[in-house]
Amino acid sequence: MRKLASVFGGTLLLTLAVAFLVRDAAATRQGATAVNDSLIAPTLTPSDSAALKGPRQPIFFRHDIHAGQYKINCQYCHYSVSVSSEPGIPSMGTCMNCHLVIGGTDSTAQREIAKVREAYNTSTPVEWNRVYFLARHAHFPHMRHINVMGPNACATCHGDVTRAPQVFKVNNVNNMGFCINCHLERNVSRDCSVCHY
Ligand code: HEC
Ligand code: HEC
Ligand code: HEC
Ligand code: HEC
Ligand code: HEC
């Protein structure tokens, strides 16, 4: 199996993964068909991550590979973004829907995916470093924005995550002006109490 994987690249495993997903996940979650696209993410190793913008993460998880090259929907992982203030961070179980079978084609991917499997097998939550977060006195309801601006509005605030090998702070969301300017433009409430309570 290992050998086959390296001979056929991702194709065989992807076929398996897609079949797996169709069986297990498609009924409840949408859009997680790991189909390769022409948008090929660059080859990088975790040692490159120090030179990338944004905090280094405990696992070199790459949005440019998952959301870019394989076109996995944001909401497959950030499952509550249209129904809750909190967008949701995927559990290792979500990752394992694919990584039970996808072991990685090169040594970097194999090493990093081994960490995912290890975290899952030992039920150790991964301590991701937060990139965007507001002070406790300010509140940001994701669902209110997604319901009006649409499921692809993420880039308006977070930049083009599908091209990001490592997530970094594209907009300074901790500057109140960032919120107020758009609320002014779109004629949304600027009442202090909608954001501060
Ligand atoms: C829908 C399928 C799918 C899901 C869900 C998924 N992955 Fe992946 N992942 C892939 C594919 C496909 C690759 C590319 C494997 C290769 O070709 O080496 C990959 C590659 C990786 C790599 C190696 C990339 C590198 O640095 O070279 C890591 C690490 C990884 N995934 C972590 C995760 C984590 C963590 C999650 C959950 C938050 C997750 N994956 C969820 C399909 C998936
Ligand atoms: C396969 C699962 C997966 C998919 C698909 C995915 N993400 Fe993520 N996302 C994660 C994980 C895991 C983290 C935490 C680690 C990190 O920051 O890279 C994260 C972190 C983030 C963060 C930073 C959160 C913080 O700490 O403030 C943003 C913003 C984000 N994702 C946006 C997106 C957008 C936009 C899309 C779709 C274009 C997307 N994600 C698709 C798994 C995913
Ligand atoms: C109007 C601006 C805006 C839009 C649009 C937006 N976000 Fe966010 N996002 C934020 C802000 C502000 C925070 C910090 C919230 C906080 O700390 O309470 C954040 C935080 C996050 C986080 C980190 C949450 C955590 O618990 O670690 C993720 C993941 C995320 N956003 C994903 C998304 C995705 C996916 C989309 C699109 C479906 C999206 N966001 C659309 C502004 C936005
Ligand atoms: C790119 C435009 C944009 C940005 C940036 C933005 N918002 Fe909004 N916001 C909207 C829109 C559009 C709505 C209206 C949603 C509706 O009509 O239900 C909204 C609604 C809200 C609401 C609900 C208002 C109510 O009347 O109940 C809150 C709270 C909120 N935003 C907080 C924030 C915060 C905090 C930030 C900055 C971190 C922010 N927004 C940044 C566009 C934006
Ligand atoms: C659309 C959302 C929104 C509205 C409306 C809003 N604020 Fe803010 N406010 C924020 C955000 C976001 C921050 C930055 C929080 C952080 O530091 O992470 C902030 C920060 C602040 C701070 C801390 C100092 C600073 O500048 O960072 C004060 C004080 C404040 N707001 C007062 C007000 C008052 C008074 C009003 C009404 C006139 C108001 N805000 C309306 C979102 C809002």
Residue 14 maps to a domain: yes
Question: How many domains would you assign to the chain?
Answer: 1
pLDDT tens-place values along the chain, 197 residues long:
343 334 334 444 444 444 444 333 333 344 455 666 667 898 998 888 889 999 999 999 999 999 999 999 999 999 999 999 999 999 999 999 999 999 999 999 999 999 999 999 999 999 999 999 999 999 999 999 999 999 999 999 999 999 999 999 999 999 999 999 999 999 999 999 999 98
Residue 197 maps to a domain: no
Residue 132 maps to a domain: no
Residue 144 maps to a domain: no
Which residue, judged by its Cα, is nearest atom 3 of ligand 5?
Answer: 195
Q: What pLDDT does 97 receive?
A: 97
Domain span at 36: 2-121
For the chain, where are the alpha helices, taking DSSP H only? 2-8, 11-24, 63, 74-77, 92-99, 107-121, 142-149, 154-158, 176-185, 192-195
- Is residue 32 within 6 Å of ligand 1 at its C-beta? yes
Candidates 59, 117, 58, 62; CA nearest to 93 is: 117
- Is residue 154 within 6 Å of ligand 3 at its C-beta? yes
Residues with CB under 6 A from ligand 2: 57, 61, 63, 66-67, 72, 74, 76-78, 89-90, 128, 130-132, 154, 158, 161-162, 167
pTM for the complete prediction? 0.91
